[in-house]
């Protein structure tokens, strides 16, 4: 029948997981909004640790497998060096992270908008659409002001994006019928 709305039916454990994930994302998002520099530096240092750990893991593999090939040492050297540079100069790492976030927000925006239209006309699809539009707006604002304010924009924009992702999940969980 035209004009009828569809309802989302899901089991209670899934609704609870959606709600809990939405709450966690919203709380991390609020932290990013109120303390953006903390989130920015934390993300930069986390990436540095991951690069260093990856480089050391590959160095271990290279030592025991390909130690005669100088070329095999290139990737571990690059990963450890890049990780150490970001660890010692986290603000520069934040600026580089800003470029990656521009790409992330563009992809996240397009993916969320596409997913919203796939959900349409289910209740709550508009929140997913809104989340995608917010991600696209964040990407545009970031492009305009990068790299001058990357230190606070990275944390702030990640916080805003996570907050709206959390709200979208909370609304989907709320609209679902058990």
For 42-111, give the DSSP string: HHHHHHHHHHHHHHHHHHHHHHHH-TT-TGGGHHHHHHHHHHHHHHH-HHHHHHHHHHHHHHHHHHHHHH
Q: Give this prediction's pTM.
A: 0.65
**What is the count of structural domains for the chain?**
1
- pLDDT band of 146, cuts 50, 70, 90: confident
* pLDDT score of 1: 43
Look at residue 27 and tell me whether its pLDDT is greater than 60.
yes
Residue 2 in any domain: the answer is no
125 falls within a domain: yes
Query: Does residue 92 contact residue 47 with C-beta atoms inside 8 Å?
Result: no
Query: What local confidence, expressed as pLDDT, does residue 5 receive?
Result: 53
Res. 83: pLDDT tops 90: yes
Q: Which whole number is the average pLDDT over 110-126? A: 87
Is 98 within a domain? yes
In whole angstroms, what separates CA 16 from the centre of its chain?
22
In this prediction, residues 154-174 reach a mean pLDDT of: 88
User: Is 147 part of any domain?
Assistant: yes
Of 43, 14, 15, whose CA–CA distance to 28 is shortest?
A: 43
Residue-wise pLDDT tens digits, 32-82: 999 999 889 988 999 999 999 999 999 998 888 876 778 888 999 999 999
Parent domain of 127: 22-44+90-175
Domain assignment of residue 9, yes or no: no
Reading the block at residue 156, the tokens are 């702030």
User: What distance in Å separates the CA atoms of residue 141 and residue 15, rounded to the nearest whole number?
Assistant: 34
Residue 55 lies in a domain: no
Q: If pLDDT is split at 50, 70 and 90, which confidence band does 9 have?
A: low
Q: Are 101 and 83 in contact (CB under 8 A)?
A: no
């Amino acid at each position: 029948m035209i004009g009828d709305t569809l309802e989302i039916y899901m089991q209670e454990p899934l609704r609870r997981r959606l709600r809990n994930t939405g709450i966690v994302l919203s709380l991390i998002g609020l932290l990013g909004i109120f303390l953006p520099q903390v989130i920015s530096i934390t993300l930069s240092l986390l990436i540095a640790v991951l690069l260093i750990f990856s480089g050391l893991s590959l160095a271990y593999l290279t030592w025991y497998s390909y130690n005669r090939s100088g070329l095999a040492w290139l990737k571990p050297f690059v990963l450890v060096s890049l990780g150490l540079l970001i660890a010692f100069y986290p603000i520069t790492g934040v600026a580089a992270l800003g470029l990656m976030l521009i790409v992330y927000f563009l992809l996240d925006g397009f993916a969320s908008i596409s997913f919203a239209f796939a959900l349409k006309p289910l209740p709550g699809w508009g929140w997913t659409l809104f989340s995608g539009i917010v991600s696209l707006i964040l990407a545009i604002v970031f492009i305009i002001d990068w790299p001058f304010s990357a230190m606070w924009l990275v944390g702030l924009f990640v916080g805003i994006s996570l907050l709206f992702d959390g709200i979208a999940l909370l609304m989907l969980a709320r609209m679902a019928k058990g």
